[in-house]
Amino acid sequence: MPRLSEVIAALENLWPAERAESWDAVGTVVGDPDQEVTRVLFAVDPVQDIVDEAVKLGAGLLVTHHPLYLRGTTTVAASTAKGRVVHTLIKHDIALHVAHTNADTADPGVSDALAGALDLRVTGPLVPDPADPAGRRGLGRICALDHPLTVRELAARAAERLPATAQGIRVAGDPGALVRTVAVSGGSGDSLFDHVRAAGVDAFLTADLRHHPASEAVAHSSLALLDAAHWATEWPWCELAASQLDEISDRHGWDLRVHVSKTVTDPWTSHSPSPGAPN
């Protein structure tokens, strides 16, 4: 049975903290390095529902993609939502470890998992990491389809393969256009349009696309846009990360029981169809 410090060392080897963006907050938030760990739960968000799930599971470690505190705080009082998370974790001897932008750019990372969920063949990073001589790490991925699909068919595949959310998959561009190459980026991706245009791909699948960047992108090119829910584009990473830790556990003889949360923590809970275009 490994100690927490041993498991964290393995996770840090997968996603070194020094590869996170300077503004990010990654690493171990809560936990005693000497405590023993038998169960690990992976999830996107360190919210109360996920922590309660970890308690019921008997997990000794919760690994999330999103940070608990991205900005500084002056309180962890249980009267606050995040403070209650901290209190619950400590009360039940559950450690919390965060892998965020260091998991985004890893090889394999968040966008590799997204591409894998959609059965896309990764050909390289969208924004290569200049510190990686092999040219495999970086933000986003450029992918190829072994058999071309229309934009409509690709959107249907995304809706089928990604976890269901209230938003579903929004599409901009010609739904009948053929797609042979796709750029993907788990999480918010509209800051990457310059790189997407430079890559010359047929479509871009990401999340949190804003009105003006999306409008400009489709107005000045034939690029198709597929906009999924932020949580849904990052959830496949949990399964990838869990399988990576499973392999490490087997190699070391730790016999860890590794789980992936299927709790939907996307904040949007319903979608009301529009009654029609404004007059």
Residue 275 has pLDDT above 90, yes or no: no
CATH number assigned to the domain comprising residue 161: 3.40.1390.30
Angle between helices 81-91 and 48-57 (to 10 degrees): 10
Residues 110 and 217 in one domain: yes
Please tell me whether 65 is known to bind a ligand: yes
Residues 163 and 231: their CA atoms lie apart, in Å, by 9
Residues 254 and 7: their CA atoms lie apart, in Å, by 9
**What are the strands of the beta sheet with 121-128, ordered from one edge?**
121-128, 138-150, 178-188, 203-207, 224-228, 170-172
Give residue 217's domain range: 105-228
HEC string for 74-123: CCCCCCCHHHHHHHHHHHCCCEEEECCHHHHCCCCCHHHHHHHHCCCEEE
Looking at the domain assignment, is residue 275 inside a domain? no
Residues 74 and 95 in one domain: yes
Tokens of 208: 């949190």
What are residue 207's phi and psi, to 5 degrees?
-140, 165
Pairing of strands 138-150, 39-43: unpaired
Please tell me whether 230 is known to bind a ligand: yes
The distance from CA 207 to its chain's CA centroid, rounded to whole angstroms, is: 11
Contact 236, 162 (CB under 8 A): yes
- Number of folded domains in the chain? 2
Looking at the domain assignment, is residue 222 inside a domain? yes
Looking at the domain assignment, is residue 173 inside a domain? yes
Residues 190 and 241 in one domain: no
**pLDDT attached to residue 129:** 97
Looking at the domain assignment, is residue 279 inside a domain? no
**pLDDT attached to residue 271:** 82
Looking at the domain assignment, is residue 268 inside a domain? no
User: Helix or strand or coil: residue 253?
Assistant: coil
* pTM for the structure as a whole: 0.96
- The total of other beta-carbon atoms located within 10 Å of residue 65's CB is 25
pLDDT-derived band at 149, boundaries 50, 70, 90: very high
Please tell me whether 104 is known to bind a ligand: yes
**pLDDT attached to residue 276:** 66
Percent of the chain with pLDDT over 70: 99
Q: What tens digit of pLDDT does each residue of 112-138 get?
A: 999 999 999 999 999 999 999 999 999
Looking at the domain assignment, is residue 26 inside a domain? yes
Residues 214 and 120 in one domain: yes
The DSSP H or E segment spanning 204 is strand 203-207
Residues 98 and 58 in one domain: yes
**pLDDT attached to residue 277:** 56
**pLDDT attached to residue 273:** 77
Q: What tens digit of pLDDT does each residue of 199-232 get?
A: 999 999 999 999 999 999 999 899 999 999 999 9
Cα–Cα nearest to 262, from 40, 48, 60, 50: 50
In order of 84, 100, 123, 166, 172, the CA distances from 51 in angstroms are: 10, 18, 37, 23, 37
The distance from CA 92 to its chain's CA centroid, rounded to whole angstroms, is: 26
Q: List the Cα angle 77/80/86 in 5-degree steps.
A: 60
Residues 216 and 136 in one domain: yes
Mean pLDDT for the chain overall: 96
Contact 261, 193 (CB under 8 A): no
